[in-house]
Amino acid sequence: MIASNALVLAGVLVGAVYLGEDVSDPMGSLAWIALDSALAAGAVLRLTKRQRRSVRFLAALALVAVAGVGFLVGSRSRTRAYNECVEHGEAIRGGLRRYMEREGHYPATLEQAVAQGRMCLRPLRGTILRYSTTGHAYELQFGDHLVTWRATDREAFIARK
């Protein structure tokens, strides 16, 4: 039973971090967190049905707390990734330019030209940076629910609302 409860807690935590990392709709993620917490609380209440009411209540309360902490951790990783893109966006463009000078074309994937530490990474969802190329031109884009940043091989990053 303890292992089942720990598994439920871990699932809630990972799910909450994953949802907190969403850059497109933080309020929608909060709604999913509430649903995730409610389902997990129901599971814990079922798993602890032979326990006293106070133990069951504390277990359900712990799940809600774990979901909240997980969402905050995910949200912070999302914010950190966004700020890394703002701070290192031009360095990423520089890496792409050097790759083009060396190879004669832009890389198929961003990882071929840019160090992993500068990739605007979130732990569970990966990078928020979107890269597309034709081989002779590229476009980079990232953003959140308020602002979108876009750059090309000819144009520096520009923020648009």
Band (pLDDT 50/70/90 cuts) for residue 116 is low
Running DSSP on this structure, what letter comes out for residue 26?
A: H
Chain centroid to Cα 91, Å, comes to: 22
C-alpha–C-alpha distance, residues 11 and 17, integer Å: 10
C-alpha–C-alpha distance, residues 47 and 146, integer Å: 42
C-alpha–C-alpha distance, residues 21 and 110, integer Å: 21
Residue 145 has pLDDT above 60, yes or no: yes
If residue 4 lies in a helix (H) or strand (E), which one and from where to where?
helix 2-20
Single pTM value for the model: 0.78
Mean pLDDT of 153-157: 95
Distances (CA, A) of 93 to 32, 34, 42, 80, 130: 35, 39, 49, 19, 13
C-alpha–C-alpha distance, residues 161 and 143, integer Å: 10
pLDDT of residue 11: 79
Band (pLDDT 50/70/90 cuts) for residue 66 is confident
Mean pLDDT of 99-126: 86
If residue 126 lies in a helix (H) or strand (E), which one and from where to where?
strand 126-127
Average pLDDT, whole number, for the chain?
A: 83
